[in-house]
Amino acid sequence: MSRFPTAWRECVGTGRMELALRRDYQDSLALIQREIGFRHLRGHGLFSDGMGIHRPYVLGGERRVRHAFTYLDQVVDAYLELGIRPFLELGFMPSGLASGDQTVFWWGGNVTPPASHTEWADLIGATLRHLIARYGIDEVRGWPIEVWNEPNLPQFWQDADADAYHHLYEVSANAVKDVDAALQVGGPAISPGDDKWLETFAAFVSRHDVPIDFVSRHAYTSGPARHVPFGVHQSLAPASALLEQFALPRKQLAGTPLGGLPVHITEFNSSYRPDNPVHDTAFHAAYLAPVLAGGGDLCDSFAYWTFSDMFEEEGVPTALFHGGFGLLTHRQIKKPIFHLYAFLARLAPEFVSRGPDHLVTADDSGRVTILAWAPVDHTDAANSPATHHVLLSVPAPGPAVFLLRSSVDDERGNAWSAWREMGRPLAPSPRQVDMLREAAEPARVHRNVPVVDGRAEIEIVLARHEVTLLELTPVVDETPPWWDDSRLVSGDEQ
Amino acid sequence: MSRFPTAWRECVGTGRMELALRRDYQDSLALIQREIGFRHLRGHGLFSDGMGIHRPYVLGGERRVRHAFTYLDQVVDAYLELGIRPFLELGFMPSGLASGDQTVFWWGGNVTPPASHTEWADLIGATLRHLIARYGIDEVRGWPIEVWNEPNLPQFWQDADADAYHHLYEVSANAVKDVDAALQVGGPAISPGDDKWLETFAAFVSRHDVPIDFVSRHAYTSGPARHVPFGVHQSLAPASALLEQFALPRKQLAGTPLGGLPVHITEFNSSYRPDNPVHDTAFHAAYLAPVLAGGGDLCDSFAYWTFSDMFEEEGVPTALFHGGFGLLTHRQIKKPIFHLYAFLARLAPEFVSRGPDHLVTADDSGRVTILAWAPVDHTDAANSPATHHVLLSVPAPGPAVFLLRSSVDDERGNAWSAWREMGRPLAPSPRQVDMLREAAEPARVHRNVPVVDGRAEIEIVLARHEVTLLELTPVVDETPPWWDDSRLVSGDEQ
Amino acid sequence: MSRFPTAWRECVGTGRMELALRRDYQDSLALIQREIGFRHLRGHGLFSDGMGIHRPYVLGGERRVRHAFTYLDQVVDAYLELGIRPFLELGFMPSGLASGDQTVFWWGGNVTPPASHTEWADLIGATLRHLIARYGIDEVRGWPIEVWNEPNLPQFWQDADADAYHHLYEVSANAVKDVDAALQVGGPAISPGDDKWLETFAAFVSRHDVPIDFVSRHAYTSGPARHVPFGVHQSLAPASALLEQFALPRKQLAGTPLGGLPVHITEFNSSYRPDNPVHDTAFHAAYLAPVLAGGGDLCDSFAYWTFSDMFEEEGVPTALFHGGFGLLTHRQIKKPIFHLYAFLARLAPEFVSRGPDHLVTADDSGRVTILAWAPVDHTDAANSPATHHVLLSVPAPGPAVFLLRSSVDDERGNAWSAWREMGRPLAPSPRQVDMLREAAEPARVHRNVPVVDGRAEIEIVLARHEVTLLELTPVVDETPPWWDDSRLVSGDEQ
Amino acid sequence: MSRFPTAWRECVGTGRMELALRRDYQDSLALIQREIGFRHLRGHGLFSDGMGIHRPYVLGGERRVRHAFTYLDQVVDAYLELGIRPFLELGFMPSGLASGDQTVFWWGGNVTPPASHTEWADLIGATLRHLIARYGIDEVRGWPIEVWNEPNLPQFWQDADADAYHHLYEVSANAVKDVDAALQVGGPAISPGDDKWLETFAAFVSRHDVPIDFVSRHAYTSGPARHVPFGVHQSLAPASALLEQFALPRKQLAGTPLGGLPVHITEFNSSYRPDNPVHDTAFHAAYLAPVLAGGGDLCDSFAYWTFSDMFEEEGVPTALFHGGFGLLTHRQIKKPIFHLYAFLARLAPEFVSRGPDHLVTADDSGRVTILAWAPVDHTDAANSPATHHVLLSVPAPGPAVFLLRSSVDDERGNAWSAWREMGRPLAPSPRQVDMLREAAEPARVHRNVPVVDGRAEIEIVLARHEVTLLELTPVVDETPPWWDDSRLVSGDEQ
């Protein structure tokens, strides 16, 4: 047997770094780690003003910089306490070091080059040295370090200036390696849509022998946004378009000096908008199921953007469900896509078989797990077939297995659906939140399945947009030979 | 509207007092209090050796007694921290004060009269004075104090000697009142089957003007036990027999000086055996549903015996499911009867209507709750009808209500059923326990129900042995006028 | 006996409202509530952009406003969960409603009048109605509502325009009363230095019969700031100047229609700068001790500004100790001023006696508590006398009392002092933080004090800048008559 | 440098196994593990009736045995959750398998040989197989397995019959090895006073080639008990007698086939009585300090008997302080001996130097730790010299170190002393318990110590019975050059 790759859990996205100071964020991350367990966490804003790291001052008429880690320590302490590690993104520009005023997002990340590349390199060096002093060199060597975010988009990097990015990358990568040669640095973290950028970047780093340990890009499938107040509508490409984007870096770099490097898809989702309700639906989970099941063949990690609705790029969310990226809403209500990830986290580690609508894995204790999903039509969330059948014969130890099935679809395990039935309250009452939490739990059924000739026959009927997990565990029968349930309330008569 | 009586939550039973020192016990009680919320807790063993209160010693050749509250304080602190109060039972006899060697239960509660009634009265007085010093007189006045347990059975009181009990009661009641006249004392805590005892006791206390603040008895419906290893089979009387037992004290005492006193059913259950698997079934919840719905008409409290399987009268349980009394098993797996209580805890406070298979209540916010159950045949748990229909029209605020339904039956919300399918493992693995916890959650469905002319029509189809809760909450529609879910993935086309 | 007034605990200050979303903030508040227990919490920024409440949008070409309570609910839920209630401050101006661009603080609170007073009134009304729906009218009636902050300073209110403030106050007070006449509204929350403002304001509300339920102002004693990087030096007035400021509103309003209103000092401290290390010292606690002991005679509440160093008016703090206002640093290290408050929280409720260096209180159980402090010279923190003696004779039950003394001074209970000895690390390691926590604990000594003729003689020697609490509790001697400690290791010899 | 041996933390003793089900026990263990961190936990009663493992029954007229692990799983789960592992002791005899009625202790451990050695071997095998299935073979191989307890005393093993013990050992060791050859088995767990037993036992196992992986014995220094009610007085031998007992097994076995085996002192203490108040004193900590500092030279582990006062061999304790073995009392009040262990847990790992009154260790970060103690006279706890001086010169990095000193003596860090001053309340009130917790904290002082030529001069003055820890950490001075504390409140003047 071969291993089901763990690329799906290597990394997950997050709103800007200082949001990690918040309790709702940490509560959500704790739940995510308990039920899913990601390895790394990546978001913007490490060097933005909200983190307060870069602090210029004047003494005796001379400009100096204090590097302050009051919040960074709180953030990273929280990460590690919750069993997750940073995937560091070097950016955006502290206002005291910026060469211009252009910002991105409601919270104002400055996207201009540094006024001084030396001061920028010092900032990187001081930050990494501090992290190593606090957490140890072995720990920090396990944190990938990515230079900037989506420099191929003018809203994220002034004029989308490739030469300026290459210079920034070179300065940054050297600053990292000056601290410790075994730290891992990479880029260019490009947005989809301008795929040539990666090739140009690869040519640059190869030509100048600039350090690089991994290559990164993003992947999304949504079309242009049609805005309504506090929301958007967008069409989606088929989910297979995500897999194509995951595959591209290895294809583009094959045969180049960067050919063998790890490839990290450091952001992916259907829509790139934090106000598209598609994120809240069962459709979304069923749409992404084949991506999660297959993505690990194509790259080393792919990071869902993002784990929590605690996210402010378009301002503070105005309703409990608002189309945010989160696996969880504020206050930790689980979306269907959360359950898809939680189902993956319960899969046994070794491949048994897979198909366009399922994945079967097992471990050496005899445990067999099946992830199955109803295929979706990406153009029409509501009108795909009402049911879909999957029939499987899986290897199992005799004489029987216990089967527990957990399901999420348009009705079940679907708090968004309940919230709509409640009248879409912007700010639900505590009692409503409790009911939504209950509505968010997957439907569960169980039974005893006989095993014949070392195999169990499993028929799965899936509802529209259903994602389901079946767990089969060996039965060791300890029923006492003298016990008869049929006599439960019949007492002494026989 | 009138209030649905809260007699069902006034008290619940527990295994012997020092079990409250245990973590599993406290974890269970915490869960019970969070999801149900009982007012008082009653169990045996306050004065038994395990609590270590009565400690004779000899000094200078003279017998003295130290009263030690090391464990009592830990127990009562834990109760109050969890929001529940003691219903004190004065018994059994400390071995250092006993007149004989007869014991009851695996753990050896001594059931003989005191060797010295003075020393017994001192023990009561010292204990109550200590509790008052620690918790305050107002607090302790809210704790009923019951004299002994089931003195009408020879295994609980040597020879079931009524005169000896009357003497014990008189000494005890006076000892209580000597501490504070407003403390509440009562008895005789008799077992069913010898109903005359109550009349005799009432005559005694009336004749001798002995203090009494409440009257208590027990109620069970099981027949004789047919033992198998680690279990029993018993027949059951109809559930209505419990209601008849609840009603008896008021009937018997009507017109006597004890006529107006509160009546506490300080123990009730179907089977009185802690090894009868009927306690673990959905049948048991459906069987008791009409008792919980109707018992409050007949008495002031009726205490389910007991809240947890952490219970040792027949020894340490040998399997996770073993027919224990608990609403919860060890490790807090919820039984169907737990859910029946949790459903009651979620009922609105005011009666709307009721019938043989349902109870409808409401509050003044427009919330309406319906408890419904499938009527059961007490002689045959497995073969009652497969479905049962209830059709209700309930008052509701327009234009619609959100309905959340939670169900427990032979398959759903039924960990015992899953455990049987697993092969009844005596000591399940942690992963099995997790699956049992999931299998124990009620099945939940929800929908939006239109309200026409101030009423909602609700049809409820119940499965065999089902107990179900329907919660209807008013819908305030905040859906934005510009939003259209049908355009979710159709983007810019219209 | 008369009661020691609780004005000192009625309210405490906090950094801007959305900081309450943070875990460090909530951890600090939890500790504060556990060991001190304030009643209300007041800070800026309710309507600033970070809370995301006022959300204008355009639909069909028309401007509308959505009121969104995503964060407000999280904040107030957290407060109430921790047993503290909002003291609401209406301000600053949402950028979408502002008439100008002027902001205050690093985080940019807009301080211009509303572009539309109607929309401002709607904002207040919608917010209060939401709070009442969520928390209940009885609860919200207990939350004072203050209009704006320090309008007499041009940095807090454009041009310190009194007429514009009076108009804002009138619109706001009416908006509050339109929601519910029993809500409590007040102002003008003025800064010290321009004391006439209060009289003008009082005249305005009296003349126009504007609703007003309480009067508020602030109090500080520091002189002008001499800035150094990341810090300031300031001189201080004597602490008695604070008491004079507390007393002023009652004096100014005596005989006016506002004469009998409650007076709230909604901010006070020595220095008004969040980067003045005086806040971190034992000097500061000793300096404020007579203010806390005496302030309750002069006003209804006086709110220490602020409970936590999680505070960003001058940017993100760059060092663990940075002269912040907090009773606690980030990560909950207790400052001497924390202990002063914690000592007050342990005082018995009834006055026995007081003097310029002490306060004695008692309760009816015989418990006596003494707060004592070394008088300080406000011009010279380091050179005040090395010791100060207090000799007291206090009433106590015989034959003896147990005395526990807790002390904080320049060395003891003083993490700042330890931090300086460590070399003032900007970002201490976890082990250093642990040592600072230990260094922050008060020094404690205890002894048995004989009681003669119903009195105990207590001599207290105080070190420089010491604040100390002495707790005397009655001794009930339960030592067994047969026990002799002197034989502990002498075994069988006698 | 060489390592300071960790034998002192390899194991600690506990009351009988089912006490681990209790919350107070688990709370204490959690605290112990957080602040000390032992590796293994050893106590009696694995097979006694309270654990409910051995459960004979009759089916079809035939005797059978069910092995039930309901409580064992709860106990071991709790251990592992708290980071500690079992040191299994095979005993005492389940009543259903015992050949006689003789019991030991208030709780009645049966000390007679098995009625059937086959059934005894089955019990061992079933238990170990269950533990391996639940926790994994690698885990269980790390748990030493000791056969019985103190078989050389007639109260622990009927007639102290050596031949019967040898037979039991052989059957037990073979039962262990039949499950897995890599499990570690040993004995004979003898009490001091009959030192020949070990030689006889060693000869037996050598002659018969019985499996043995380690050798164990106990060590105590108290003389005969002179009883008073609820207490004893005993004389003590000098503490060096403990070290002599630790050393004996290696000496006795040198040159025999058992010569190289690990030696575990599976119990040690001064007094072997759970009602000797010497355990509660600072004398006790100072008495044992040289034993903990030196014991690791002589054996592989020495287990303090026991970690908690939750212990019932002489019945339920009747007072908070009662002379129990615990490092902690009920409700987790720290005794001086707790602090001695906590001080050891904070020691750096490498030896620097040691003497009769101190131990100096360091790590490679420049951290230096000093444990020092006042030498005690074992015959007279109260009259040893009032002070003791230690002068040390220790290596340290320049230019300065931060020194934090923690002290425990007859007054400081001494809850027992405070409790006596309170009048020795049997059942202290919650407020008294809080004050005792505060009184139990070590006194702490700190200062900055200059380093000259790579060394710091440290003078330590110890009070009577003092045990003290000094922690020296390197100072990296980050004080800003522009900062001057002397200007704190002098503001703008210079």
Predicted confidence (pLDDT) per residue in B302-313, tens digit = 999 999 999 999
Angle between helices C240-253 and C196-208 (to 10 degrees): 30
Together in a domain, C449 and C386: yes
D382-415 pLDDT tens trace? 778 899 999 999 999 889 999 999 999 999 999 9
Q: Is B274 part of any domain?
A: yes
Whether D468 is covered by a domain: the verdict is yes
Angle at B396 between CA B465 and CA B346, to 5 degrees: 45
Phi/psi for A479 (5° steps) reads: -60, 125
> Do D319 and B68 lie within an 8 Å CB cutoff?
yes
Cβ contact, residue pair B435, A418, below 8 Å = no
Q: Which residues pair with D463 in a beta bridge?
A: D387
Task: Read off the pLDDT of each residue in A331-341 and give the average, rounded to a whole number.
Answer: 98
Calpha distance D57→D67 (Å, rounded): 11
C382 with C322, same domain?
Answer: no
What domain count does chain A have? 2
CATH code of B392's domain? 2.60.40.1500
Query: Distance, in angstroms, between B71 CA and closest chain D CA?
Result: 8
Q: Is A429 in contact with A336 (CB distance < 8 Å)?
A: no
What are the tokens at A156?
């994220």
Q: How far is D286 from chain B (nearest CA, A)?
A: 29
pLDDT bin (cut points 50, 70, 90) of residue D195 is confident
For position D66, what pLDDT does the model report? 98
Task: Looking at the structure, tell me whether residues B341 and B355 fall in a common domain.
Answer: no
Structure tokens at A356: 């366009």
CA distances from B65 to A46, B113, B143, B416, C359 (A): 69, 18, 26, 48, 44
Flag whether D491 is in a domain.
Answer: no
Query: What's chain D's average pLDDT?
Result: 96
Rounded to whole angstroms, the Cα distance separating C184 from C128 reads 12
Residues D216 and C494: their CA atoms lie apart, in Å, by: 36
pLDDT, residue C494, reads 43
Q: Which of B18, B150, B267, B466 is flagged as catalytic? A: B150
- pLDDT band for position B276 (50/70/90)? very high
Query: With bands split at pLDDT 50, 70 and 90, how would you rate the model's confidence at A486?
Result: confident
DSSP string, A267-327: EEES-S-TT-GGGGSHHHHHHHHHHHHHGGGT-SEEEES-SBS---TTSS-SSSSS--S-S
Could you confirm whether A150 is annotated as catalytic? yes
Average pLDDT over residues D253-282: 97
Tokens for D24, please give them: 């107070």
**Sign of the Cα pseudo-torsion (B153, B157, B159, B161, in order):** negative
User: Do both A296 and A444 map to the same domain?
Assistant: no
Reported in sequence order, the residue ranges of A306-427 that DSSP labels E, i.e. its strands, are 350-355, 358-362, 368-373, 387-395, 400-408
C384–chain D Cβ distance below 8 A for any pair: no
Give the model confidence (pLDDT) of D449-466 as tens digits.
Answer: 999 999 999 999 999 999
Rounded to the nearest angstrom, the minimum Cα separation between A448 and chain C is 45
| Domain annotation covers residue D134 | yes
The beta-carbon neighbor of D479 closest among C423, C444, C445 is C423
Interface of A with B in 458-487 (CB under 8 A): 471, 473, 475-480, 482-483, 485-487
Q: Last residue of a domain, which of A345, A362, A385?
A: A345
* Mean pLDDT computed over D350-367: 96
The verdict on A234 and A367 lying in the same domain is no
Which residue did the predictor score with more confidence, B487 or C265? C265
> Can you tell me the distance from the alpha carbon of D328 to that of D309, in angstroms, rounded to the nearest whole number?
6
Residues D31 and D109 in one domain: yes
The answer to whether residue A494 is domain-embedded is no
Residues D77, D78, D79: CA angle, nearest 5 degrees? 95
Count how many Cα atoms sit within 13 Å of the Cα of residue B477 in the half-sphere of its side chain: 12
Distance between CA atoms of residues A35 and A346, nearest Å: 9
Per-residue pLDDT tens over the stretch A435-482? 999 999 999 999 999 999 999 999 999 999 999 999 999 999 999 999
**Same-domain pairing of D228 and D161:** yes
Last residue of a domain, one of A316, A345, A374: A345
Give the pLDDT confidence score for residue C204 in this predicted structure. Answer: 97
Q: Do C229 and A66 make contact, defined as CB atoms within 8 angstroms? A: yes
Q: Quick one: average pLDDT of A165-170?
A: 98
Residue C262's identity, in one-letter code, is: P
Domain around C448: 351-474
Q: B21: which chain D residues are within 8 Å (Cβ-Cβ)?
A: 22-24
* D116 is a domain residue: yes
pLDDT for the residue C492: 53
Q: pLDDT per residue over A134-151, tens digit each? A: 999 999 999 999 999 999
Distance from CA of B130 to the nearest CA of D (A): 9
Is D153 found in the same domain as D300? yes
Task: Compute the distance between CA of residue B340 and CA of residue B467 in angstroms, rounded to an integer.
Answer: 7
For C419, name the nearest residue in chain D, comparing CA atoms only. D402
Instruction: Check whether residue B245 and residue B367 sit in a common domain.
Output: no
Q: Tell me: do D247 and D360 sit in the same domain.
A: no
Buried-exposed string C118-153: b where 16+ CB fall within 10 A, e elsewhere? ebbbbbbbbbbebbbebbeeeebeebbbbbbbbbbb
Q: Are B76 and B50 in contact (CB under 8 A)?
A: no
Are C222 and C89 in a shared domain?
Answer: yes
Summarize pLDDT for C452-486 with one digit per residue, the tens: 999 999 999 999 999 999 999 999 999 999 998 88
pLDDT reported for residue A494: 43
**Partner C contacted by A50 (CB < 8 A):** yes
Same domain, C261 and C327: yes
Domain endpoint, select from C345, C367, C394: C345
Q: What is the CATH classification number for the domain harbouring A228?
A: 3.20.20.80
Q: Which of residues 257-316 of D touch C (CB under 8 A)?
A: 277-278, 281, 283
Is the bond preceding residue C201 a cis peptide, omega within 30 degrees?
no
What's the confidence (pLDDT) of residue C383? 74
> What HEC string does A83-149 produce?
CCEECEEECCECCCCECCCCEECCCCEECCCECCHHHHHHHHHHHHHHHHHHHCHHHHHCCCEEECC
Q: Which of B23, B52, B330 sits opposite D315 (nearest CB)?
A: B52
**B146 bridge partner residues:** B89, B186
pLDDT at B324 exceeding the cut of 70: yes
Nearest Cα residue to B464 out of B421, B411, B419, B391: B411
Q: Is the confidence at residue A492, as pLDDT, over 60? A: no
CB spacing of D426 vs B68 below 8 angstroms: yes
Picking from C480, C476, C483, the residue whose alpha carbon sits closest to that of residue C399 is C476
Shortest CB distance from D438 goes to which of C228, C444, C479? C444
Neighbouring residues of C23: CB distance < 8 A, sequence distance ≥ 6:
A21, A22, A23, A26, A78
Residue B455 lies in a domain: yes
Residue (of B339, B279, B346) closest to B311 by Cα position: B279
Gap between the Cα atoms of D265 and D186, Å rounded: 12
pLDDT at B398 over 90: no
**How high is the mean pLDDT of chain C?**
96
Which DSSP string do the residues of D164-193 spell out, in sequence order?
HHHHHHHHHHHHHHHH-TTS-EEEEEEPTT
Whether A381 shows a pLDDT value over 80: the answer reads no
Residue C259 reports pLDDT greater than 80: yes
DSSP one-letter string for C409-468: SSSTT-HHHHHHHTT--SS--HHHHHHHHHHTSPEEEEEEEE-BTTEEEEEEEEETT-EE
- Convert the pLDDT of each residue in C404-458 to its tens digit: 999 999 999 999 999 999 999 999 999 999 999 999 999 999 999 999 999 999 9
* Chain B CB contacts of A381 below 8 Å: 488-489
Give the number of other Cβ atoms within 10 Å of residue C437's Cβ: 15
Does the residue D142 lie in any domain?
A: yes
Bridge-based pairing of strands B455-463 and B387-395 is antiparallel
